[in-house]
Amino acid sequence: MEQQRAVEPYDVVDLITTKRFGRALDPEEIAWLINAFTRGVVAPEQMSALLMAVVIQGMGRDEIRAMTEAMIASGERMDFTALGRPAIDKHSTGGVGDKITLPLVPLLASLGVAVPQLSGRGLGHTGGTLDKLESIPGWRASLSTEEMIAMLTDIGGVICAAGSGLAPADRKMYALRDVTGTVAAVPLIASSIMSKKIAEGAGGLVLDVKFGSGAFLPGLSDARELATTMVHLGADSGLETVALLTDMDAPLGRAVGNANEVRESIDVLAGGGPDDVVELTLALAGEMLALAGMPDVDPAPALRDGRAMDSWRRLVAAQGGDPQATLPEAHEHEVVRAGSDGIVQRVDARAVGVAAWRLGAGRARPGDPVDHAAGVEVLVRPGDRVVAGDALFIAGCDHAGRMARGLEVLRGAVELGSTVPDPRPLVAGRIIADG
């Protein structure tokens, strides 16, 4: 006799219709929806329809909170209270040349703050922290919880892949969003990020929410909405959260790729590096120190006196990497030169990111291999004066067939004019729970 399937309390088609017409879903409906999707009761095509309805109609604060809580409940929660030092996390919404995690984690570790940095891989025009670090021979991204705790206790920092137990419902939903054009929606981005960060169990969280051509949300108003939503989600869950709104209209730093970004990060840890990378590293470090109860600690000296570099070497070695190893270098190089005289008005971050992606530094689909040596060196910044023939970029890759496609987009990435553009602040705003 065929066993009868249990009767579900809701009908997913009713929920899709409710959201399609712009009405709010109840917390109980959302909790069931996420659980049923995780169990396989709600089919992928049904969840895809609901996600598209959310993109079109949006969600209220209570709905976003309920979705976040349901995704957290789908998996395990971590706890760092026994470390003996404050555990503060950081998350960036991603951008072109964003290698801040690499100098930031060892910097904070050298100052007595534990940073359990669970990072991801690149997709499309934005790079992934794990891809960058895998340029280092022997370095491994996958660690057990026991290994993470040991590193946090001994060194104070870890950068690794998130385990499968954290918010598995989000992982399953993101796979759908990536192939259905439903990634860039504030409710979905916010609940995806915050479900993992809250489940991670840190004592505080600093968000780097980017806007501009190289960001997933180009507009400042959209970035502000996302930051505010995530800060409120943190507050609602008891996780003290602060967000900085940072400019991603131009690439961050001079290096865009994988191995070249690691080299630039090491320059920062040695007390040098591009001014904007140093500025943002210190700004985020200051916010994290404040959440750790250390608001009067100045992080800058630790970049100059070798403490942060020592922590970097220990962190890399603890994950199997050789901090002294030679990093991959591209065999093919081409220089993109200015076609006329002028003043640089803009360096289009998205165009540079797409160029690096085409050169092999990124991937089109999850699981694609990346060329760790491929990338772009950005030689000019807005406000620089150039004459015809000056070098603007150096493109590098290990596959000659990729070069033409990368150069095609890179040649249009710089806008020249006759006046000096107004400077843009790197940090455009700060969002906290009380406004």
Separation CA 189–CA 382 (nearest Å): 30
Q: Which fold has domain 81-325?
A: Pyrimidine Nucleoside Phosphorylase; Chain A, domain 2 (3.40.1030)
CB atoms inside a 10 Å sphere around CB 324: 10
Q: Where in the chain is the domain with CATH 3.40.1030.10?
A: 81-325
Q: For position 99, what pLDDT does the model report?
A: 96
- Tell me the sheet residues that pair with 377: 255, 394
Within 10 Å of residue 367's Cβ, how many Cβ atoms? 6
Rounded Cα distance, 366 and 175, in Å = 9
pLDDT per 10-residue tile (average), the chain, 435 residues: 72 97 97 96 96 96 96 93 94 94 98 94 77 96 94 96 88 86 89 94 96 92 96 95 97 97 98 98 98 98 97 98 96 97 98 95 78 97 98 93 94 97 97 85
Please give the pLDDT value at position 412. 95
Indicate the burial class of 21 (C-beta count within 10 angstroms; 0-12, 13-18, 19 or more).
exposed
Q: 332-417 has which CATH code?
A: 3.90.1170.30
pLDDT of residue 369: 83
Catalytic residue IDs: 91, 170, 177, 192, 196
- The CA distances from residue 399 to 124, 239, 433, in Å, are 19, 46, 48
CATH 3.90.1170.30 spans which residues of the chain?
332-417
pLDDT of residue 333: 96
Q: What is the pLDDT of residue 1?
A: 42
What's the pLDDT score for residue 396? Answer: 97
**Residue 417 tokens, joined:** 């004019």
Structure tokens at 283: 């700004």
DSSP H or E run through 394: strand 391-397
In whole angstroms, what is the distance from residue 40 CA to residue 42 CA?
5
CA pair distance 239, 80, nearest whole angstrom: 13
pTM of the model: 0.94
Q: What is the DSSP letter of 409?
A: H
Helix intervals (H) in 21-167: 27-39, 44-57, 61-73, 101-110, 129-133, 145-154
What is the distance, to the nearest Å, from the Cα of residue 117 to the centroid of all Cα atoms in its chain?
A: 11
Q: What is the pLDDT of residue 123?
A: 64
- Decide if 378 contacts 355 (C-beta within 8 A): no
At residue 124, the pLDDT reads 64
d(C-alpha 73, C-alpha 167), whole Å: 7
* Residue labelled with tokens 């970004």: 261
Contact between residue 141 and residue 182 where contact means Cβ atoms under 8 Å apart = no
